[in-house]
Amino acid sequence: MAAVLTGRRVAILAADGVEQVELVEPRRALEERGARTELVSLREGTIQAMNGDIEPADRFTVDRRVSEAGADDFDALVVPGGTVSPDHLRRDGDAMRFVRGFADGGKPIAAICHGPWALLEAGVAEGRTVTSYPSLRTDLRNAGAVVVDEEVVTDRGVTTSRDPGDLLAFCERIVAEIEHA
């Protein structure tokens, strides 16, 4: 694979309860293409990933607290899903400031499954066409987003996908979006 993302820095914003495959697969795809990823979270230490929101999976070391990070430190943002992680993130002012910083700077943002909750809370979903896990779609519509049921959607720099079944298309799209940003 060509290292088309060499020199690019990508923040992966996640908290306890992140769906493991939605963190691991995009990170792998980005790093295989040469990007440097950092796990950004609400606190130092590690976060607990989950399989299917129910079964504890691995723990992942946090590289930086979101309160000490800014969008200017990165070229792009990925927000994995799982129900719990995005719910924690959307209640944190520093995390919402971080997400808004990417949108305000016109930098690529990608969110999968329940990750669009963070986009919604940060005011990034309004007016954009997005997709998500089915249970978020009413919330997204109520926030002013146009919601579609497609495996991957990109609208003005924001890429969204529905669930782990869409990871291949999601990963390919975010690599392309970051490469051409």
Question: Residues for the chain: how many in total?
Answer: 181
**Measured CA distances, 86 to 34, 62, 74, 166, 172 (Å):** 27, 16, 20, 18, 22
In this structure, what token pair is assigned to residue 89? 């993130």
From 8, 88, 107, 114, the catalytic residue:
114
- Among this protein's residues, is 88 annotated catalytic? no
Please name which of 168, 120, 115, 181 lies closest in space to residue 146, comparing C-alpha atoms: 120
**Nearest CA-CA partner of 57 in 89, 84, 26, 29:** 84
The residues annotated as belonging to the active site are: 114
